[in-house]
A and B are shown apart, each in its own frame.
Chain A
């Protein structure tokens, strides 16, 4: 069965329809705005209605080369923004780990990137958008006009209406390359020291960590920081990618492969510190090089778990989670840890907040996986943290409601025709 979410769990029957243009009236039945289906769990699914794809609405409308302000339709993806704007010296002010998301999806999930600590989330760079309600009403939303709708829609999971066109501010760059420093560190404590002392000129900071290490090596990994080069070529180097052609019947990500990969990956860098130049694609989008990498998890699919924990208790909570993962021997193939800053887009249901965020993925192995994730959720909740709806397929309604107290305000602004499986699950 075809998958409509990136994790492939839950894999329920979906019906996809296209919105043929931004002026086409919205359907009369229950629907959910749908982009490229890169949300991992059920926030991009609507089993009780249709998914309304924005793919035909993928036109640029206006780009001001002088100011870097871009107006485009909802279905434009980040890759095409980079491909056309980078040669003119402009880049995304905030980018998630894949280019294959639409601008409307980036707003609906208020996505963040490796520069969150300094730059905030995607929503911070949205100047305005048009929101169409199922009544046919067209609302131009910005921080000054229809501001309730503006802030409800940023991080609003597509529930407030169909975003048809958006205006965003890009940022100036002078080279397609970044200057990257990778430091190998021995223990989770070192990650916090490195983050604390990191040079703010390195706007992008992220750590990959080895989730199979325990004891004195708990949380060891690589701390990677980078910044755009000051000058160089504004070109798009060709990247040769690979593709996973078919979904494997069983997950290729298992204890053995996780253990091997994590150990090898940790050891790949011999020296303590490595400095290198990387083009933007391998730096920001390493996984985009393997098309359909999600198929490696097999037909059962997988679940992501991304949380953010307030700064003051972050270290302890992350330690507790890593210890639990190591103890249960349910390692995650890739574990990413980074600091988040205080700058906020103002989105009512935005995920980011000041603290530390941990992202992991686990193959779905039945109820035991879900139970295990609930144990992680409990650590997050106890620490006053929250989970990322775009990556969730499992959190309990109580967990969600406690972490996102503005959910009721959003429910009031929700378009009555729009719903998602995620929303039905967490507000019940």
Chain B
């Protein structure tokens, strides 16, 4: 299988890629930091991956998506599985003051994702085969005062994916939206907290791999986040306004 990983240095993408690291699979890793990319490429090779190539790319720059997809195709030939995990979490307080930061958040999390997905959809629609996994977030389910900039940047993609999933289903291409809850990773290192609600990238990766086998559409990781978000979504707006979530 030929696997394209975008945001390959992210903790969840790394853990997913490792689960597929065996002689049957080739990888094309895309991320910003080249040093980390090299390390992750060596890691996957040592774990048994057949072939690993890398490309350093910064999705804060508009318009680089076609070149990324072209070079991935050149390396892998046909793309069978795409893991999309590139994302900025950022700080809500900054997004409330700094328009450049807000625009950059949307450039990376939203616009580049929509561009990449559009290119990939066309590619896979023709080959009539393939899987796309997009790592969204439970934050996309409802805008909350603590992180609505980030949450909405993911929500746009989640809605986009719903339509794309229905479109590509006719071509035997599967699109899976993943909504992780709290995951211990470098992205969340600054957030204090631990306990039963927290999960690890390894556990999330295991759920993703199993979800793909079952062709799940939307996957909350772990599952209980579905329950939590159902409750959060069902709080009437008049009460929600008074909460500090």
**In the complex with contacts A18-B189, A87-B48, A59-B196 CB distance below 8 A:** no
Point out the residues of chain B lying under 8 angstroms from A18, CB to CB. 186, 189
Q: Does B34 contact A (CB under 8 A)?
A: no
Min CB distance B122 to A, Å, is: 35
Contact stretch, chosen from A60-68, A134-142, A147-155, A253-261: A60-68
| A63 vs B44: C-alpha distance when bound (angstroms) | 10
Q: Does A237 contact B (CB under 8 A)?
A: no
**In the complex with contacts A59-B43, A87-B48, A88-B48, A80-B18 CB distance below 8 A:** yes
A84 touches B47 (CB 8 A): yes
Point out the residues of chain B lying under 8 angstroms from A61, CB to CB. 42-43, 46
| A200 vs B199: C-alpha distance when bound (angstroms) | 43
Q: How many residues of A contact B (CB 8 A)?
A: 20
Q: Does A72 contact B (CB under 8 A)?
A: yes
| A18 vs B184: C-alpha distance when bound (angstroms) | 12
Residue from B21, B40, B186 in contact with A84 in the complex, judged by beta carbons closer than 8 Å: B21
**In the complex with contacts A59-B40, A60-B42, A87-B22, A245-B196 CB distance below 8 A:** yes
| A63 vs B49: C-alpha distance when bound (angstroms) | 11
Interface string of B33-47 (1 = CB under 8 A from A): 000100110110011
Q: Does A56 contact B (CB under 8 A)?
A: yes
Min CB distance B44 to A, Å, is: 8
A2 touches B196 (CB 8 A): no
Q: Does B244 contact A (CB under 8 A)?
A: no
**In the complex with contacts A245-B196, A246-B196, A60-B47 CB distance below 8 A:** yes
| A278 vs B62: C-alpha distance when bound (angstroms) | 55
**In the complex with contacts A59-B39, A59-B42, A60-B42, A20-B47 CB distance below 8 A:** no
Q: Does B234 contact A (CB under 8 A)?
A: no
Q: In the complex, which residue of chain A has the Cβ closest to the Cβ of B184? A: A55
Point out the residues of chain A lying under 8 angstroms from B186, CB to CB. 18, 20, 56
B196 touches A60 (CB 8 A): no
Point out the residues of chain B lying under 8 angstroms from A245, CB to CB. 196
Q: In the complex, which residue of chain B has the Cβ closest to the Cβ of A55? A: B184
Point out the residues of chain A lying under 8 angstroms from B47, CB to CB. 60, 63, 80, 84
Min CB distance A27 to B, Å, is: 15
DSSP majority for the A interface?
A: mixed
Point out the residues of chain A lying under 8 angstroms from B40, CB to CB. 59
Interface residues of B in 146-197 (CB under 8 A from A): 186, 189, 194, 196
Q: In the complex, which residue of chain B has the Cβ closest to the Cβ of A80? A: B18
Min CB distance A2 to B, Å, is: 6
Residue from A2, A21, A84 in contact with B48 in the complex, judged by beta carbons closer than 8 Å: A84
B46 touches A72 (CB 8 A): yes
| A385 vs B228: C-alpha distance when bound (angstroms) | 54
B43 touches A60 (CB 8 A): yes
Interface residues of A in 202-248 (CB under 8 A from B): 245-246
Min CB distance B181 to A, Å, is: 16
Point out the residues of chain A lying under 8 angstroms from B18, CB to CB. 80, 84
Point out the residues of chain B lying under 8 angstroms from A59, CB to CB. 39-40, 42-43
Interface residues of A in 13-32 (CB under 8 A from B): 18, 20-21
In the complex, 28 of the A-B residue pairs with CB atoms within 8 angstroms, ordered by the A residue number, are A2-B194, A18-B189, A21-B36, A56-B186, A59-B39, A59-B40, A59-B42, A59-B43, A60-B42, A60-B46, A60-B47, A61-B42, A61-B43, A61-B46, A62-B42, A62-B46, A63-B46, A65-B48, A70-B46, A71-B46, A80-B18, A84-B18, A84-B46, A84-B47, A84-B48, A87-B22, A88-B48, A246-B196
Interface residues of A in 237-292 (CB under 8 A from B): 245-246
Interface residues of B in 18-58 (CB under 8 A from A): 18, 21-22, 36, 39-40, 42-43, 46-48
| A63 vs B42: C-alpha distance when bound (angstroms) | 10
| A250 vs B43: C-alpha distance when bound (angstroms) | 43
B22, B39, B40, B194 interface centre (most CB from chain A within 10 Å): B39
Min CB distance A261 to B, Å, is: 26
Min CB distance A10 to B, Å, is: 20
Min CB distance A34 to B, Å, is: 14
A60, A72, A87, A246 interface centre (most CB from chain B within 10 Å): A60
Point out the residues of chain A lying under 8 angstroms from B21, CB to CB. 84
| A38 vs B22: C-alpha distance when bound (angstroms) | 29
Min CB distance A306 to B, Å, is: 29
Point out the residues of chain A lying under 8 angstroms from B196, CB to CB. 245-246
Interface residues of A in 71-87 (CB under 8 A from B): 71-72, 80, 84, 87
Point out the residues of chain B lying under 8 angstroms from A63, CB to CB. 46-48
| A87 vs B20: C-alpha distance when bound (angstroms) | 13
Q: In the complex, which residue of chain B has the Cβ closest to the Cβ of A70? A: B46
Point out the residues of chain B lying under 8 angstroms from A70, CB to CB. 46
B22, B36, B42, B48 interface centre (most CB from chain A within 10 Å): B48
| A84 vs B18: C-alpha distance when bound (angstroms) | 9
| A136 vs B189: C-alpha distance when bound (angstroms) | 25
Min CB distance A37 to B, Å, is: 12
Q: In the complex, which residue of chain A has the Cβ closest to the Cβ of B39? A: A59
A21, A59, A71, A245 interface centre (most CB from chain B within 10 Å): A59
Point out the residues of chain B lying under 8 angstroms from A84, CB to CB. 18, 21, 46-48
| A126 vs B194: C-alpha distance when bound (angstroms) | 34
Min CB distance A176 to B, Å, is: 15
Min CB distance B29 to A, Å, is: 13
New contact pairs (17) apart from A18-B186, A21-B39, A60-B42, CB-CB < 8 Å: A21-B36, A59-B39, A59-B42, A59-B43, A60-B46, A60-B47, A61-B42, A61-B46, A62-B42, A62-B46, A63-B47, A63-B48, A70-B46, A80-B18, A84-B46, A87-B22, A87-B48
